[in-house]
């Protein structure tokens, strides 16, 4: 497939600071004479009993986005689309010492772009007559912005919705403000934003033994720069950092005696070592801290850059002097602890506990159903699953 070798193992935080055109306070150093582009995003999936990413309904529930963000079709159209990946909040920043104009196109060969801002010049449309499954789309997904004005001196106000939203955390960087002339007028933002769903398989699989030891397997030719195993049960949490993964490794469940502060510090340094500027890394963590570290178990890993480029080709014209892309994979794990918690919550109608698993309840129950060995258990899980589908259907009708 022509993939290049991945970068070496994670560089030290000190080295990444010294090679960045930022100062230690995360502010842009005025030494560059060309446009620089930086992007971050998340690929979210759930591991089935075989370790592969499960087919699920990746965009059910709230869109959790401000009301000015644009959507493909209606907000709830994607409730019936099954896929393996939710591509969440990629944001694309630009840095330039002077005004510049660029054109941007993102291709999604096995996926569909579902949300974006500012208004795009073109977005691949969904064909409701044929597009029922993401794995069988009649045309590849894509989005493009023909003229994006990059102006480091612009002080334009960015749009705000009626309430607080984690979307706004991504603005807390020193990237140049952007403006796009659209049929709705000129729209301003700190970044280009888009989201999507897809049917590709991520590079990492994770299978569980009887004692919840996790076997991690890298199926991509390039090294996965770092993998972290995370678990949270109520107020208690723990994590293990594996580091680079070339082939495979086993990790025991983490002891639940860690703090979020120590985890944030470790992850922020890791993101910077992959090429993000300090304020970008902080903005990414602020955006996703409630989602990455919610109830349950998951593997969190840095997606190899060649993999990102293969599933999500990005073209920018004129070509920037530098393009950095840092994507984090979130692979949900249906551990025995998660199964016990979900079974107990359904049996006692504990809505508060079920809400903690939210959009992942459907694939969790399907994974449990696939692993069930007796008919009474299968019947009970099928009943629970039917109730989840009923709730999801009612949401799409509202």
- The residue extents of the domains of the chain are 13-202+252-333, 336-397
User: Is 70 exceeded by the pLDDT of residue 137?
Assistant: no
The mean of the pLDDT values for the chain is: 86
User: What's the pLDDT score for residue 59?
Assistant: 63
User: What's the pLDDT score for residue 12?
Assistant: 31
**In the structure encoding, which two tokens stand for residue 270, read together?**
């890791």
Say what percent of the chain tops pLDDT 90. 72
Which residue, among 148, 166, 175, has the nearest Cα to 280 in the 3D structure?
175
User: Is 50 exceeded by the pLDDT of residue 22?
Assistant: no
The predicted-structure confidence for 330-352, as pLDDT tens digits, reads as follows 999 999 999 999 999 999 999 99
Would you give the DSSP letter of residue 164? -
User: What's the pLDDT score for residue 161?
Assistant: 86
User: What's the pLDDT score for residue 64?
Assistant: 78
User: What's the pLDDT score for residue 130?
Assistant: 53
Which residue, among 367, 364, 369, has the nearest Cα to 380 in the 3D structure?
369
User: What's the pLDDT score for residue 124?
Assistant: 82
User: Is 60 exceeded by the pLDDT of residue 76?
Assistant: no
Mean pLDDT on 101-130: 86
CB–CB of 39/326 below 8 Å?
A: yes
Distances (CA, A) of 361 to 290, 385, 391: 17, 8, 11
Mean pLDDT on 52-75: 78
The predicted-structure confidence for 202-232, as pLDDT tens digits, reads as follows 999 999 999 999 999 999 999 999 999 999 9
Residue 390: exposed, middle, or buried by beta-carbon count in 10 A (0-12, 13-18, 19+)? exposed
CB atoms within 10 A of CB 48: 21
**In the structure encoding, which two tokens stand for residue 156, read together?**
């334009």
How far is it, in rounded angstroms, from Cα 260 to Cα 113?
Answer: 32
**Three-state SS at 336:** helix
Rounded to two decimals, what is the model's pTM? 0.87
The predicted-structure confidence for 245-265, as pLDDT tens digits, reads as follows 999 999 999 999 999 999 999
Q: Which residues of 217-256 are buried (b: 16+ CB within 10 A; e: fewer)?
A: ebebebbbbbbbbbbbeeeebbbbbbebbeeeeebebbee
> H or E element: which one contains 280?
helix 278-292
Mean pLDDT on 28-41: 71
Mean pLDDT on 362-378: 94
> H or E element: which one contains 149?
strand 141-150
User: What's the pLDDT score for residue 389?
Assistant: 86
User: Is 50 exceeded by the pLDDT of residue 390?
Assistant: yes
């Amino acid at each position: 497939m022509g993939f290049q070798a991945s970068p070496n193992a994670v560089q030290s935080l000190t080295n990444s600071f010294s090679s960045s055109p930022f100062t230690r306070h995360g502010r842009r150093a005025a030494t560059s004479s060309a446009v620089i582009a930086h992007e971050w995003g998340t690929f979210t999936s759930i591991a089935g009993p075989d370790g592969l990413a499960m087919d699920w309904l990746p965009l059910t529930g709230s869109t959790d986005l401000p009301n000015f963000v644009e959507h493909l079709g209606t907000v709830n159209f994607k409730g019936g689309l099954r896929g393996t990946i939710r591509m969440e909040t990629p944001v694309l920043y630009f840095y330039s010492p002077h005004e510049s104009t660029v054109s941007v196109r993102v291709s999604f060969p096995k996926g569909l772009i579902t949300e974006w801002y500012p208004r795009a010049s073109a977005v691949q449309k969904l064909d409701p007559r044929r597009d029922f499954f993401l794995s069988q789309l009649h045309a590849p997904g894509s989005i493009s912005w023909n003229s994006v004005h990059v102006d480091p001196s612009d002080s334009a106000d960015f749009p705000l919705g009626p309430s607080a939203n984690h979307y706004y955390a991504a603005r807390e960087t020193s990237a140049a403000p952007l403006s796009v002339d659209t049929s709705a007028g000129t729209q301003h933002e700190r970044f280009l934003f888009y989201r999507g769903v897809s049917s590709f398989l991520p590079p990492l699989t994770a299978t569980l033994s009887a004692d919840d030891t996790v076997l991690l397997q890298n199926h991509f030719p390039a090294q996965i720069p770092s993998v972290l195993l995370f678990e949270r049960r109520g107020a208690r949490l723990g994590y293990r950092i594996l580091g680079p993964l070339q082939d495979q490794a086993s990790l025991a469940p983490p002891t639940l005696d860690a703090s979020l502060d120590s985890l944030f510090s470790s992850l922020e340094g890791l993101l910077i070592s992959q090429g993000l500027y300090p304020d970008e890394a902080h903005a990414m963590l602020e955006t996703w801290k409630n989602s990455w570290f919610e109830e349950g178990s998951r593997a969190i890993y840095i997606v190899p850059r060649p993999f990102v480029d293969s599933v999500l080709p990005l073209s920018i014209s004129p070509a920037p002097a530098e393009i950095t892309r840092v994507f984090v994979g979130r692979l949900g794990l249906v551990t025995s602890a998660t199964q016990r918690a979900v079974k107990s919550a359904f049996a006692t109608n504990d809505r508060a506990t079920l809400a903690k698993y939210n959009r992942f309840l459907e694939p969790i129950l399907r994974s449990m159903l696939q692993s069930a060995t007796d008919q009474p258990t299968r019947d009970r899980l099928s009943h629970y699953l039917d109730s989840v589908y009923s709730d999801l259907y009612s949401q799409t009708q509202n």
